[in-house]
């Protein structure tokens, strides 16, 4: 991945995302690159995945549904009830088609950045965590502790984020995507086996 490609993608995203989302995207790209440096992941891949993770976020829900149906992208029951969740799958599709990304790990990092999944790759974990802790975030519980923890133990930070998200969703009586629950259970089991 050439630096010029990242520059072009930044320019395109600045045109398609609102200013608040673009600023968040820059924060996720920066944080993904920092975590990649810490854990030995490809820095440019991490930065690109961070830049593109929300590339479909500002698309309206009807258009996200249309893109999924037109391109035979599966829509779960939870996503039918909460179509804003589709931005991750549509983002993965746009990464391939619009931004010409052919790296499956980058695409999966975009697809699973909201729910996670059991057995995530290092890059998927990095983008998932970066989305939660980027410098512009200030409303998540345990944020200061998680920011420190993610540079010490990535899996422990991932598990803590998943747990905090599940507690938040339950407390606010919001629907929990089954994939998020499965991801939490997978990493909780993995932790107890170690």
pLDDT value at position 4?
Answer: 52
pLDDT value at position 2?
Answer: 54
- Span 85-111, average pLDDT: 96
DSSP 175: P
Mean pLDDT lowest among 49-58, 72-81, 121-130? 72-81
Q: What is the CA radius of gyration of the chain?
A: 16
- Span 109-122, average pLDDT: 97
- Span 64-88, average pLDDT: 93
Share of the chain above pLDDT 90, in %: 87
Q: What is the mean pLDDT of the chain?
A: 94
Give the C-alpha separation, 160 to 166, whole Å.
Answer: 10
Give the C-alpha separation, 148 to 34, whole Å.
Answer: 13
Whether 57 and 160 have beta carbons less than 8 Å apart is answered as no
| Closest by Cα among 121, 138, 142 to 46 | 121
Retrieve residue 74's tokens: 């599966």
At 28-60, the pLDDT tens digits run 999 999 999 999 999 999 999 999 999 999 999
Whether 98 and 105 have beta carbons less than 8 Å apart is answered as no
Please check the confidence at residue 1 and state whether its pLDDT lies above 80: no
Structure confidence at residue 5 as a pLDDT band (50, 70, 90): confident
At 58-67, the pLDDT tens digits run 999 999 999 9
Share of the chain above pLDDT 70, in %: 98
Whether 112 and 91 have beta carbons less than 8 Å apart is answered as no
Whether 1 and 48 have beta carbons less than 8 Å apart is answered as yes
| Closest by Cα among 174, 165, 99, 166 to 129 | 165
């Amino acid at each position: 991945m050439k630096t010029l490609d990242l520059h072009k993608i930044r320019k395109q995203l600045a045109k398609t995302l609102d200013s608040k989302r673009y600023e968040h995207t820059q924060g996720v790209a920066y944080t993904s690159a920092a975590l990649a440096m810490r854990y030995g992941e490809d820095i440019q891949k991490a930065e690109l995945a961070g830049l593109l993770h929300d590339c479909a976020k500002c698309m309206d829900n009807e258009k996200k549904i249309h893109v999924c149906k037109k391109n035979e992208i599966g829509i779960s029951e939870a996503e039918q009830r909460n179509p804003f969740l589709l931005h991750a799958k549509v983002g993965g599709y746009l990464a391939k088609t619009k931004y010409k990304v052919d790296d499956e790990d980058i695409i999966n990092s975009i697809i699973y950045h909201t729910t996670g999944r059991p057995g995530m790759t290092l890059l998927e974990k990095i983008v998932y965590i970066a989305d939660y802790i980027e410098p512009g975030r200030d409303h998540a519980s345990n944020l200061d502790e998680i920011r420190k923890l993610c540079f010490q133990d990535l899996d422990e930070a991932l598990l803590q984020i998943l747990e905090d998200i599940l507690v938040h969703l339950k407390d606010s009586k919001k629907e929990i995507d089954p994939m998020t629950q499965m991801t939490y259970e997978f990493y909780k089991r993995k932790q107890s086996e170690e």
